[in-house]
Chain A
Amino acid sequence: MSWDVASKLNPEFVKIARMSLPRRRAVFIAGLVAALVAGGGWLLWQQSAPNVYHNGNLYLSDADLWAMQTRDFGRAAFEGLSVLLFCLLFIVAPAVAGVSFVYERLRGTAVFQQMTLLSPFRQAAGKFLGSGLFAYFVAAMLIPPALFAAYLGETNPYKVLRIYLFLLVGGLCWQAIGLFVSASLAGSPEKTLRGGLLVGPLVGVGGAATALALGHYFTVDIEALRDTQAFSISGDYYNQYNYDYYLEQGRYWWRFYGAAVPAYLVVLGVLAFVGAWAFAGAVRRVKAWQLIPTGPRAVWLFFASAEAVVVGLLWGRHVSDATPSERLIIYLLLNSCALVALAGASAVGRGRLSEWWSVARDPVALFQREEIKNAVKTYLVVLGIAEAGLAALWLSYHLHPLTGDLQSLTFPVNLAAAGASLGAFALGAAAFIQFCAMFRFRVGGVAGVALLTVFYVFVTLAGALFDKRNNTFTLINPLLYTETLTRGDTYLDSYLEVREPRIELRGRGCEVREEMVFAPPKPAMRTLGYCNPLIKDCVPRGGTVVYEARRARHRDMAQSHARGLVAQTLLALFCFGLAGLKWSRTRGEMLGGRAAAQVD
């Protein structure tokens, strides 16, 4: 018995390794993979043979033809192996992680997992590593030939590094998401668990979609693109940096709290963030499953950090950016979805209420329960975080894009209206979802979320039927309300022009001409002075900023704002009224029903 190695590793991992990859199976898989790689390589080599009758190849020597075939083979093999690695790490490993806890339930071993003395962290870590074991094993066999193929194909090493970072971080992220979903289902009732094994493929599909959507940020050869472009312009040093700036403004450079960051780094950061929180969420779900008391602080921390990331990505005005109002709406949409999801997850269903009321006859005793207190506290804290993020974003759009100075002191008026709108929506939505959860819907709070979505789609469509865009139906929707609020705003819905000095190289020195106007989407030269070491001293910092409203403001703007806010507040109060009535009626029904049963 091999006690030594196993005794040093995570027992959960060792168990999964012994079950999924015993020695004989590992040897078989290794042989199979080696044979497939060798066979595929041979086929690719044959396909990569250059056509010697091709005009361009007629006069090439055998050595050149050999080099050409080797390079083509290397490129094709690297691409093929990379696709295989993506499939393994983005689809297979997450899919297996997605069924890890579900499978324990279906197999009947979940009760042992619930009573284990392994800490939830070690348990989740063991499942996390174990679920990826097969994929890691095969990937470990494929990576060396893939790297060799990249070398043969003369692939840019930075591109290879980017791809492998994406593979690693993205794969682990989706694996963590799979684990979280699986851990969330571990404690669910049998009915919910039906079809639980479908979760794995669904998570795999999510991983594949992510790889397809974001892969180009990593597979594009930015260095080659830049070099080619720079030389095609003129080949001189100045244009090299000019093109750098162009890239900075383009799709491969994003901004985080105003700083230009390569898009792939932002994507990697976001994936790592999501993965880390998904893993933390999985650990928390395991804790809840094992009935270990959990406090609400981790949830607050998650929302605070997620908000910080979202605000960072949407932060500030930039030269090429015309529509901060749209970014505000994206922010509000994300927060509305998060709040509604949180309300749906925290809603107390009829079954739970019935259970609690069965032992607590005092109408207010229920509010003393930790579950309810924590849910209410968490919802209010998350709403507060969302409001703080909204204020920070709103403020950032009023800062001078070059100097960072605050340019308006009147912005809190509209900000307060948008904040109140978000607050009214969040509270009303929570009340409505709780109202729906007290009906006999099996899905509880989820039904409320669905109905709420239908309601807002309906009022939006109804609002679109009116000629006037600022009608009450439209203004009930907090996103459209904010859109109306910011329409034609100097800072939030305007084109931005930056008047800056223009630099022209003259021999070894440079000449600065003032009052050259740059308007989006033309590439502005603002950062030119900072990144070109040759001319940085010639360029004065800052410049003149001119805002030009993009659209006209509505005529009765003040009245619209007030009307929208009143409508949203009334709607929220109506939802609270409904929830309160349903609450007391449900309580009456349950207590009455039980009294009758006891008499029987």
Chain B
Amino acid sequence: MNAWIVQQRAAFALALRRLASTPTTTLLAALSIGIALSLPAGGQLLLASLQQLGQGSSATPQISVFMALDADDKASSKVGAQLRANAGIGDIQFIDRNTTQKRLREAGLAQVIDSLPKNPFPDTFVVTPKDTAPEALEALRTELAKLSRVEHVQLDSAWAKRLSVLLNLGRTVVWLLAALFGVGLVSLVFNTIRLQVLTKREEIEVSRLLGATDTYIGRPFYYFGALQGLLGGLVACAIVYAGFAVLQERVAELAELYRMGFSLRPPSVLGTLGLLALAATLGWLGAALSVRQHLRAS
């Protein structure tokens, strides 16, 4: 068998034995790492779920132009032509009053609508402006409100834009948390390995005298760090999955009450594997930094 593989296997087995020889310390370290990693991981999952709210509506602002209730088809056609001629408008969608009524009936409001003496909805144009700057949107809204037989002009999707901005802010916070806790993980492993190097000083000295390279000496510590990170990652995944299982039903109930198309997204397989790989890599990094510093000094 290749010498390199033999040594990797031996180092991995030694790292496993060292982890198993101190179960309480190993468990506490895994819990510390897991809890720290679960916060940004859970936050990322929540943000991904919240993003669904914004996906139903375009984050690009739109303007709804409502005709007067008594405006006839001719008036609507005239306004439609004026809108199409407007250079500041990119796209126009016309929703006639009957379509609106039909959609709401299908949405479960048939009983309410049927109880009304006549169709209460106006013809509506949904306009997508070319310039989405707040001043330009406001100017266009004012201009459209002056058109003949137009009753009301409403700037839509502003909430989606606000949500989008909030999500971006949330993402930044999650990344900052992830970076912070990542540094924490590296520090924790660094210190654990430092203590191990100190307790194994005699073995390291003897190994050196027998011809061990720094790589050979450091290898079990690298595996130890990676395994410790991996265990922490598994704890983080367990926390996130448990949180998802506990909250999923409650959030669905809440969303149903508000008729929101929102549900918590379960962690993906790829995301889970990514979290585990990241945790193991950070553990390895902490160990490598510690071993490098302490072997050079000894």
| B partners with A | no
A interface, CB within 8 angstroms of B: none
Q: Identify the B interface with A (CB < 8 A).
A: none
